[in-house]
Amino acid sequence: MPLSNRPGYLPLLLRGLLAGLAAGLLAGGFAYLAGEPHINAAIAIEEAASGGAGGEAPLVERDIQSTVGLFLATGLYGVALGGILATAYTLLRRHLRTGSDTQAALGLAAAALTGIVVVPFLKYPPNPPAVGNPDTIDQRTAAYLAVLALGLVAVWAAVLAARTQSHQWRRAAAGTAAFLVVVGIAYTLLPTFHEVPADFPATLLWDFRISSLGTQAILWTALGIGFAGLITPARQKATVTAA
């Protein structure tokens, strides 16, 4: 059966898109307040290192990029993630061992945050505009996509390992061990890039990275909570109607 024909998929998809839009705008607000000052500081360092030569004028002014462009990007990104979360919920809900729709939605969001945000961040933390070698962008992109995929594999392995055990503490231990094994192998096999200039301010670098991680954490947390909040009343209404 095509996914679009599954009962209840389109209403769930719409709720996912709405939750994603709200989460994206919320994350955009955090990025504007906590991240943009660090980006501006990094750009100033880059311009100072080049003697003030800014090169070609940007097609879009920096002020517009950091406001309209930022919120547009995070909003669209949130909508896309909301659609993905709703689709994953539709496909995986029956396989999740919980009777709570809220727990199911929050669990999927937490798994995504861990697999596609935290795992890649610890191996390849983001760098501000002034950091990075343009000659290695293809290698860095490929490595990032690889660690992202392996992060999801690690989450999947943790779930499978946990289900082999009957006791709560054994499930936690087995899941944690499987997750760490996959992540450890991924981190060992994937290349490491050292492209941060020695004279780049360490505080600025880590402030930027933490703000980037915070943006993603807020987006996925808000998306999970928003989606769970939107689907629970819908499920309850469907149950009452069916009764």
pLDDT at 212 over 90: yes
Question: Region 191-205: what's the mean pLDDT?
Answer: 89
pLDDT band at 119 (very low <50, low <70, confident <90, very high): very high
pLDDT at 238 over 50: no
- Name the residue with tokens 């094994």: 181
Number of domains the chain contains: 2
| Longest CA pairwise span in the chain (Å) | 73
The CA distance from 200 to 204, in Å, is 8
Residues 24 and 140 reside in one and the same domain: no
Residues 40 and 124 reside in one and the same domain: yes
Collapsing DSSP to helix, strand or coil, 163 comes out as coil
Full-model pTM: 0.86
Residues 28 and 112 reside in one and the same domain: yes
Report residue 44 as tokens.
């100033």
State the residue range of the domain holding 160.
132-195
pLDDT at 146 over 80: yes
Out of 178, 195, 212, pick the residue that ends a domain.
195
Residues 28 and 71 reside in one and the same domain: yes
Per the model's pLDDT, the better-predicted residue between 179 and 53 turns out to be 179
Residues 10 and 105 reside in one and the same domain: yes
Question: Region 117-141: what's the mean pLDDT?
Answer: 89
Per the model's pLDDT, the better-predicted residue between 210 and 197 turns out to be 210
Chain segment 64-94, per-residue pLDDT in tens: 887 889 999 999 999 999 999 999 999 998 8
Residues 214 and 177 reside in one and the same domain: no
